[in-house]
Structure 1
Amino acid sequence: MPIINTEHLLLNFLNHDEYTVNSQREFIIQPIANYFQEPNPPSVQIQLLSHGLFHPEQTDKAYIRKWLEKDYKLKVTQFFNQLKQAWDGPEVNIFVLPFNLNDNSSITGSGLSFTDKILLFLSLEPEKHLIETIMTHEYSHVLRLQTIHHEEVIQLKDTLIMEGIAEVITRRKYGKSLLPNITPDKLTIENLYKQWILPNLEIRSTHPLYQHLMYGNESMPQYLGYYIGTYLVERWQKSYLVSDNQLIRQPTNDFF
């Protein structure tokens, strides 16, 4: 069974006298951190919070209790098994946790993946097909990390294509994107690619410029790397008709 039981972690957290970041780390993050190669609870907590895990100071206990009543395990398990069979993929650990609601955003869920695990952050009412979209997106990452890259510290060009493939597949299957609806036009994309991405294709994910090129900054559009990765995969697909299974396993350099 790939779904890790997070319900008891959430209940322990709710039943504790304190409802703080520290108690979240003790009752939820610490057990999950044991599944990481470097089980450092503070760094794992920062990573999970930055990708969608609920924040105690922004989420009341009533929300968590209602979330527990949703019991997403069955739906996530069924869909994971479908993906695993369709893509001939590996078993991975899956953690399902409450999403951090933000009144200024229409987003109702998110995900995070590693070579051996996926974390899903879901709200009380995720939009239609959101669970399938996030699972498809994140599991495609797992397959590339295991079959193409074999490591989590990879080059910018690898991440561009990995994100582009995930975006192209989820758009085709569900008509949904996990990106903001601000896609730059083709000419802008090509110019940004030549200016920012092309000279830095081989920097690694530990490089200080890497995050800016993927997520944007004051000099670059938001989610620059994601849009360029999607553009590169779509451009390649115009010449090569392949299945999703083949696309996920296509070597990075083929797209350049």
Structure 2
Amino acid sequence: MAVINTREWLENDLANPIEMLRKCEETYTKTELEQYYEYLKRFGMYTPSAKIRQDLDRLIDKDIWGKTKEIFSKYRALWKGTDIPVYIFPYKGSGRLLRTKDNKSGLAFKDRLFLFIHSTISDKELEAVFVHEYHHVCRLNLLKKSPAKYTLLDSIIMEGLAEYAVSKHVGKDYLAKWTSLYEESEILNYYVRHLKQRLQTKRSDELHDQLLLGMKPYPTMLGYCAGYYMVKKAGLIPIKKSFTISSEVFLKKME
């Protein structure tokens, strides 16, 4: 499938994101597409505006689609990764993930990947956000576990491993901001207070996202930060092993 030509969609229909999402999910009803769009906006998808039109022109000038295609080819070959469609849309500037600059975000599913990109992005930052999200895709496809059984532990380790891949392949300078939000003593304190007894919280439970994202009253990006800390504490892991290693392995280092 590779990188989908959303550039053409955006040039012709920037003001109608619902119609573009219909091309991604042809079987969805209008109501389902509207709900889908609201969900994607939480992670950084744009809202139509004059500024977005200007940013789209700059994204086209920078050939973001061509660059992403090259990055995709590199990591699909390197990781023997899954072939999935990659959809690129402008970034609205308020996505969930706080990376090196507030100019990119992404959302990964087992069978597709979304990138939300601002024109200020550098080539290395583009590679970093792709590596993080594509690592999710590969792990979701290779981990021998039903998605219905995913827990908070699975989610925080998935985030930690994805950012570990960024560190290894792109460099520590391109790690997400949340990897250094807290000192080790703070992370350990938060882990004991907020996470240790709740790691088996199911993904369908409202508490799951509250802890993972660090919604009030919990510390910002709590689950993400704890996941990266746990993965680092476990020591070096071959990248291909990081797609299949059990989340429970990382608990042993915390005991």
TM range (shorter): 0.7 to 0.9
Distance 1:122 1:34 in 2: 24
1:220 aligned residue: 218
Kindly provide the amino acid, as one letter, of the partner of residue 111 in structure 1.
Answer: G
Percentage of identical aligned residues: 24
Aligned-pair CA distance for 1:49 = 0.9
The aligned amino acid for 2:155 is T
1:192 CA displacement: 1.1
SS in 1 for 2:158: helix
- Listed as ranges, the matches of 1:173-192 within 5 Å are 173=169, 174-175=171-172, 176-180=174-178, 182-192=180-190
Equivalent residue number for residue 64 of structure 1:
56
Alpha-carbon distance in 2 for matches of 1:147, 1:205: 19
1:247 maps to amino acid: S
Matched, 1:161 2:170: no
> Which residue does 2:18 correspond to in 1?
25
Contact in 1 for aligned 2:105/2:116 (Cα 8 Å)? yes
Q: Which residue of 2 aligns with 1:73?
A: 65
Partner of 1:197: 195
Q: For 1:124 and 1:156, locate their aligned partners in 2 and report how far apart those are by CA, in whole Å.
A: 34
Deviates more, 1:117-126 or 1:93-102: 93-102
Any unmatched runs of 5+ in structure 1?
none
Question: What is residue 79 of structure 2 aligned with on the other side?
Answer: 87
Task: Quote the Cα distance in structure 2 between the aligned partners of 1:184 and 1:101.
Answer: 23
For 2:164 and 2:244, the matched residues in 1 are separated by 14
What is the identity, as a one-letter code, of the residue corresponding to 2:79? W
C-alpha separation in 1, matches of 2:159 and 2:22: 29
**Structure 2 unmatched runs, 5+:** none
Normalised by the size of structure 2, how large is the TM-score?
0.86
CA distance in 2, matches of 1:60, 1:226: 29
- Structure 1 pair 236–181 and aligned structure 2 pair: CA distance change class (3 A): closer
Q: How large is the RMSD of aligned CA atoms in angstroms?
A: 2.2
Mapping 1:32-181, distance limit 5 Å: 32-34=24-26, 40-57=32-49, 59-101=51-93, 106-148=101-143, 150-153=145-148, 154-173=150-169, 174-175=171-172, 176-180=174-178
**How far off its partner does 1:110 sit?**
1.0
Instruction: Give the structure 1 partner of residue 8 of structure 2.
Output: 8
Aligned to 1:251: 246
Go from structure 1 to structure 2 and tell me whether the alpha carbon gap of 1:46 and 1:166 turns closer, same or farther (over 3 Å shift).
same
Flag the 1:224–1:58 CA change in 2: closer, same or farther, 3 A: farther
Instruction: Give the C-alpha shift of residue 12 in structure 1.
Output: 2.6
SS across alignment from 1:129: helix
CA deviations over 1:151-177 (Å, ceiling 9, x no partner): 444211100110000112212332222
Which amino acid in structure 2 is aligned with residue 53 of structure 1? M
